[in-house]
Each structure stands twice: as structure tokens, then as C-alpha cells.
Amino acid sequence: MRLSRYFLPLLKETPAEAQIVSHRLMLRAGMLRQEAAGIYAWLPLGHRVLQKVEQIVREEMDRAGAVELLMPTLQLADLWRESGRYDDYGAEMLRITDRHERELLYGPTNEEMITEIFRAYVRSYKALPKNLYHIQWKFRDEQRPRFGVMRGREFLMKDAYSFDVDEAAGKAAYNRMFVAYLRLFKRMGLSAIPMKAETGPIGGDLSHEFIVLAQTGESQVFLDRRMLDLPVPGEDVDYEGDLEPIVTDWTRLYAATEDVHDADRYGRETPEADQITARGIEVGQTFFFGDKYSKPMKAVVSGPDGVERPVQMGSYGVGVSRLLGAIIEASHDEAGIIWPDAVAPFGVGIVNLRPGDAATDRACEEAYVALKQGGKEPLLDDTDERPGGKFAAMDLIGLPWQLIIGPRGLAEGKVEVKRRASGERHTLPLVEALSMMGA
């Protein structure tokens, strides 16, 4: 992409409404525009990152055996009356009436709908296990939206739902999601720690919140330092096999958010030297809730014994749009965002220091084509902006690599490569620069 043709409205000054760093940087970097409290338009740069994050979630869900579908944003109120949640859900649920006076709602989640879909088609244990997910916009009419995209009213969420014949199979399905979550957050460059979570009225102890550690996190968390060193399962993890050992490894050590923190247990189980108190951002949550919805909504399957029983369900959410905020909270400096390679909107920013200079233009063009062919998704700054402004802009939008090309360096046959994360720079011939960046 050539910057001169792109749409990247950068802000030199921070809009007054933004307080936390990720919100400020997203506005300044031209990723986001607020349209109403907690409702945002995703500008091209933000949209690209959103899609990258979404794609990683999708790949890891698919790898774990989940199947993607897409449910609508609007749902019928009657569906929610079946589970009893229409009345339980408070003002957070956005209720809408259509021209026929039918009551609708903008879905805050999809347990009811997925259960309805499942029960319409599945009757036998032989069709199980199943895990269906979608990535869709949700709406929760928060009383007080804040922190930009981290607590908006409209948000993009991946939610998966597992269906199993009995509790043991349900637990295995839960484990698959647990492992998939470890992997997908890791791929985004995040260290997300599963922490025991409140299950609320659902009961049982099978629920975890996945928390990203960041200094500016919204809530306080307590954990065993050794959790940070646990190995994340690789691409070759066998989702057909027994994942219990991995889950046990990741749940044995103490890790809790402030609302479920047990100071006595913490002191007992975790050596003082390994105790960490930090701030965290919740980016995902896993639940196993058995027949909470399948029972009232009559989603039943026949077992091998010919007896019909409610299917055992779990649900697994990832806050896709929220993740952008979390990633920035966890990865930025004074100058701007530092994107992890896997989610960066562009792989390399090429800075043409002197557009109009024949040799410089030629070298930039050569680099642009090579990087593009190498799948590096370059963004070429071919604007008339002054060098200082270009450098500041590149640092702000946080592309992993900067390739700086100008007449001064070219006179020596060299260009400069800068790694955004470390600030490390190298002056070297263009070919070498390209191979350094993997093109």
C-alpha cells in the first residue's frame, strides 16, 4: 500500500476524551473513530489489525476442531423467554421493536440461538461431539462504556459452544478450548494467564478467565511467577488425545483475579519469592455449564442406551475487538504502538526520505515490490511530508520494521533498517536489508 493513496488520519494531539494509553494511541494512529459512547468506526488501519486478530482466532478454533457459522445480530425476544433470560438480563440488553411490533434484541451473546439451532437438527449422541462458533458483533448497553475499545458497547466477539453427550466428554471439549486459547493468545504475542473464575449462578468450578498482564490493566491479579514460564502447546498438539495433563499444568499453580482472590491459599501455595501482584485485562473466558440451556430449551440427544437426555454444553468467548486494546496496553512506548509481528497492520514501513529524487524513488520501488512479493505487506510512505514527520508517524503506527531510504545513504549504496520493538538500527545494502526482514 502506498501511503499517498491510503486513508490514515493521524492525530498529533490526543483527543480529550481518551484517557488510557491504548485508546489514545488508537485514535492518534488513525485506527478508530468514536461515533457514540462505546461505539466505534474502524478506520482502515484498525480494521486491518482487527482482521489479523480475527484470523488467528479462526485458525486456532478450526485447528481445535470447532466449526464456524454465522448467527445474526438480531434475535427474537421469544427465544430468550425460553431460557428465562429475557427478563433476567437487565437494561444491558438492547431491546428493539420492529414494524410488526415484534420484540427483538441486539444479541449480547448467543447461547439461546445456538441451542435452538442445535436442537433443530441433532438427535443422537452419534453426531457428537460438536463445537460451533461464530465471530460476530455483539451489543451490551453498558451503563458506563470506557477505556475505548476495551469496554465498548458494541464489540466483536468470538463465541464457541460445545455439545457433548455426557460430562466427561464435555470436560474434554472444555480442555480443547482451553488449549486453543493458550495457543491463540500466544500467537498474538500476548502472555495470557488462565485464572480461576467465578461461574456465577451457573455453579461448578469449570470456568477460567484468560488474563493478559499489562501495567494499565483494569483489575488486580495475583499469580505464581512460575506460570509465566509454562510452555504453550505447539501447532502439533493432538486435539484428539488427552489434554488433561496440559490443562492440569496450567491450572495447578495459583492465579486469581481480585474478586476471587484467596489470600490465605495464595500464601500457603505460593512461595513468597514467586508471588506476583499485577494488573490484568480479561480477553477470554471459558465455561462449562452442563444442561443450563439444553434442559429448559429441550436440546436432547439419545444416548447409546436409547434414553434421551439434555446435551452437555460449554461456551467459550474471546473479546476480539477488546484484544486490540489489550495488545496495545501490553506493547507500546512513548512514541506509539509496537505491534507484535503476527497482528501488525503492515509488516514493513518504507520511508522515502526524498520523493522526487530519482535514485531514492527507484530504490523504494524496488524494495516495495520485493517486500510485497515476499508477503511482507509493505506500507510505502511516498508523501511529501518531512523526514521528521515520517519517522514519528512510523513509530506511532508501530509497524514491526522500518526501511528508511534516502539519497544520503544511497550515495554509499546503503539503506537503514529499524526494528520498532528494540529500536535497533542497521545500515546496509538494500538486498541485505530485505533478507534481514525475511523478504
Partner RNA sequence: CGGGGCGUGGCGCAGUCUGGUAGCGCAUCUGCUUUGGGAGCAGAGGGUCGCAGGUUCAAAUCCUGCCGCCCCGACCA
Q: List contacts with RNA (CB under 7 A).
A: 10-17, 19-20, 34, 36-38, 92, 140, 142-147, 150-153, 155, 157, 209, 218-219, 282-285, 317, 319, 321-322, 335, 353-354, 385-389, 391-396, 404-410, 416, 418
CA–CA separation, 367 and 388 (whole Å): 21
Q: Residue 230 in 3-state DSSP?
A: coil
CB 155 to RNA: min, Å: 4
Burial class (CB in 10 A: 0-12, 13-18, 19+), 120: exposed
* 128 vs 326 by CB, closer to RNA: 326
Cis before 429? omega within 30: no
CB 243 to RNA: min, Å: 22
* 157 vs 256 by CB, closer to RNA: 157
**225 DSSP 8-state letter:** G
* 23 vs 52 by CB, closer to RNA: 23
Q: Number of C-alpha atoms within 13 angstroms, CB side, residue 281?
A: 29
Q: Strands 130-139 and 67-68: what pairing? A: parallel
Q: From start to end of 205-302, where are the E strands?
A: 207-213, 219-224, 255-257, 275-290, 300-302
- Do residues 77 and 106 touch, judged by C-beta distance below 8 A? no
User: With helix as H, strand as E and coil as C, how does 87-118 read?
Assistant: HHCCCCCEEEECCCCCEEEECCCCHHHHHHHH
- Do residues 127 and 301 touch, judged by C-beta distance below 8 A? yes
* Among 56, 58, 54, 59, CA closest to 42: 54
User: What letter represents residue 287's amino acid?
Assistant: F
- Do residues 177 and 60 touch, judged by C-beta distance below 8 A? no
Cross-strand pairs, 40: 34
- Do residues 130 and 162 touch, judged by C-beta distance below 8 A? yes
CA–CA separation, 2 and 78 (whole Å): 50
CB 395 to RNA: min, Å: 4
**101 phi and psi, to 5 degrees?**
65, 20
CA–CA separation, 415 and 430 (whole Å): 6
**2 DSSP 8-state letter:** B
CA–CA separation, 340 and 187 (whole Å): 9
